[in-house]
Structure 1
Amino acid sequence: MRLYGVVGWKNAGKTGLMERLVTEITGRGFTVSTVKHAHHSFDVDHPGKDSFRHREAGASQVLLASRNRIALMHELRGAAEPTLDVLLTQLAPVDLVLVEGYKRDTHPKIEAHRAVTGNPLIAPNDPTVRAVASDTALQVDLPVFDLDDTKAIADFILQEAGL
């Protein structure tokens, strides 16, 4: 599987860019999966639901299935967070996996950047960042795309990924 990341600081536009890229790339006939890293605790389940009750009772994994989707929840219960490489083994084969976050991993990435956040660029100090998508002109030694130019960003990623 080919892998490409979208990184950036909070409120830089990563999720919106990911969403637009998935739409653009799947619209071109490629299959795409995504991985999103969260730095905080999250829950995809709801108190009172059967699957929530199974987890609360101590189940290590709960598989929820219907004719529309499946969801596998795995409780770490104090174990170390799995690496991105380990998580990727859980995905079905696709043409491209887009990864939001995991900025310290070694896969190629594009950085989302919004000037209003006031955050510095990650790209100058990270050789895995191959381009920047920004809402402002930047002076960097990398390709810079308009943050809203999804087609050009998708073209770049697909070329970089060899698709």
Structure 2
Amino acid sequence: MMIEENKVVSLNYTVKDEHGEVIDTSEGGDPLTYLHGANNIISGLEAALVGKAAGDSFDTVVAPADGYGEYNEEMVQVVPRSAFEGVESIEPGMVFTAQTQGGPVQLMVTGVEEDDITVDPNHPLAGKTLHFTGSVVEVRDATEEELAHGHVHGPGGHHH
């Protein structure tokens, strides 16, 4: 069975940045299991996996536009310390979820200068070229429930 839309795919993978540093890997853990065509993984990797079957390996480079997007400096902003109500200590590297008109957004604190807190809502991998290697473990038909929910259920997937 080959990878195509509405198939459940399990794969072992390692992803590295443009400097060869490992960002994430399934090595030593469970394979990544996702519903193909449901936007559960980045588009560049999903496109590279089409037509592969269990036992096939993959080695693909994903540009920022097909990964987590380009880094947008204009999204970085300085907010007052008062925006962090109830938080005693704010340090660079801390991650918060802000409620916006467009829904929740994750922000990373990148600078603290007295009452001015610099936050960056860009995805941590925005602007990075990613190198994926790995192998396909299993490809199966999705269940009706998985198709209706848009994600995998059971081992390696989502549990309700």
TM-score, reference length from structure 1: 0.27
The structure with more radius of gyration:
2
TM-score by length of 2: 0.28
